[in-house]
Amino acid sequence: MIRSYKYSFIVFFLIFTSCKVQKLKTFEYDEPVDTSTKTIQYQQKKTFKLGSVYADNLFDGARMNNFERINDSVFRVTILPENEPINKSPHYAFNVWSDSLKSISLQLYYPTAKHRYWPKYSIDGKNWVRLDSSNVGLSKIDSIVELKIQLSTKKLKIAAQEIKTSGYVESWAKKQANNVDVKYMVVGKSKLNRDLIMLEIGSGLSKDKEVLLLFSRQHPPEVTGYLALEAFIGELLKDNYLSKDFRAKYRILVFPLLNPDGVDLGHWRHNAGGVDLNRDWAYYRQPETKIIANYIIDYVNNNSNDVILGMDFHSTFHDLYFTLQDDLRSKLYPYKDYWISGIDNFFPDYSPNDIPGGLGTFTKGWFYNQFNAASITYEIGDETPRYFIKKKAEVAAREMMKLLILKNTVKN
């Protein structure tokens, strides 16, 4: 439920805490999650040839476990997870083409799950189009989806979501570092030796400044959350008074790709250790969580910083915000109510879905338990229109900056 406020100009009072040396904490929960490394099944990378029709998974981010012919005009792609048990969010991505123009029916077959992501296609791998609903048929059990497609000699890329590989994210991050207030760095390596990258945003010296943490892409197919992060960062880096003043006052540490192995391997959910990284923020058994958590602790200790806000960008079926329930009062309480109210007031035809809740072994709990920071899981719907993802993220960033610029200007 969104709180309403009488005045358009809001000044809120904050709980102030002195900065102290941080030590990385482990946490015990009533229902702990086993995040020890588990075996994954690698998909066989190959080109499949069935008469005049071809398919392949020979690119980063691909997911296709088998390609077979059902009859002359019907072909089947089998999609399997990296291991189980797993959240049932089956990612798929592959190329398909033919020796000549040919119309076929293409089945997406999920032996262990149900269909989630609406099919999209691309010729160049950059520009993506949703397949028209007239060409998509769902079975009653949702484990087989049949697509009607037109093939040519040019490869047609079909995927659950736009493909944003580790190479793409690194290229985007380095481009942001063209801004004088952004520093690109590698803070460590994933289980399979891919870079764990970070952007440090802010002007002037880092010492004694309050810190915001922005995370994304713990779960490989959750591209819409990542697109929101891109737009959110874009707003922070604008050349206007609000953004420049904000960058001067705060330090923002951005980890845009926490699971590069899972992304490039085409995983549904897990890292190369077969683990949901967003369940490992109490134990740090996986290299990605351990490295990033320790880096943040070292950073704030070396610079006498205080982490006040953490946001983790994800995707789910519909847009929503997972926040802290009212009895979990962070050092920014009641920041999130003002922030969500600002977003709500901007859009006449959209009302934010705020879902307050407790803690867990994911980042929402870690931000709060480790730093007593305000904590928000920023969720974007799988099929939310891309223009609205961008607009809402820009508004969210502006509302955040306006509120935090006011911090410490009025004291109790």
Q: Do strands 102-109 and 74-78 pair parallel, antiparallel, or not at all (unpaired)?
A: parallel
> Cβ neighbours of residue 338 under 8 Å, at least 6 residues apart?
5, 10, 12, 403
**Average pLDDT value for residue range 121-126:** 96
Angle (deg, nearest 10), helices 386-406 and 241-249: 60
- In terms of domains, do 229 and 150 share one? no
Using 50, 70 and 90 to split pLDDT, how confident is the model at 13? Answer: very low
Residue 17 lies in a domain: no
Rounded CA-CA distance 5/7 in Å is 6
Q: What is the pLDDT of residues 363-399, one digit of tens each?
A: 999 999 999 999 999 999 999 999 999 999 999 999 9
- In terms of domains, do 94 and 232 share one? no
pLDDT confidence of residue 4 = 44
* Boundary-marking domain end, from 159, 185, 218: 159
Q: What is the pLDDT of residues 207-240, one digit of tens each?
A: 999 999 999 999 999 999 999 999 999 999 999 9
Range of the domain at 347: 166-406
* Boundary-marking domain end, from 127, 159, 191: 159
- In terms of domains, do 129 and 182 share one? no
pLDDT confidence of residue 409 = 60
Q: Do strands 144-151 and 136-138 pair parallel, antiparallel, or not at all (unpaired)?
A: antiparallel
Kindly report the pTM of this predicted structure.
0.94
More confident residue, 142 or 370: 370
Statement: residue 300 has pLDDT above 60: yes
CB 166 within 8 A of CB 216: no
- In terms of domains, do 151 and 179 share one? no
Token duo for residue 381: 């719907």
CB 94 within 8 A of CB 57: yes
Which residues partner with 182 through β-bridges?
201
**Average pLDDT value for residue range 64-77:** 97
More confident residue, 361 or 388: 388
Residue 231 lies in a domain: yes
Residue 16 lies in a domain: no
**Which of 77-86, 249-258, 308-317, 399-408 has the weakest average pLDDT?**
399-408
* Boundary-marking domain end, from 115, 137, 159: 159
**Average pLDDT value for residue range 121-130:** 97
CATH number, position 109 = 2.60.40.3120
CATH number, position 358 = 3.40.630.10
- In terms of domains, do 152 and 173 share one? no
**What's the total number of domains in the chain?**
2
Which residues partner with 137 through β-bridges?
146
Percent of the residues in the chain that have a pLDDT greater than 70, as a whole number: 94
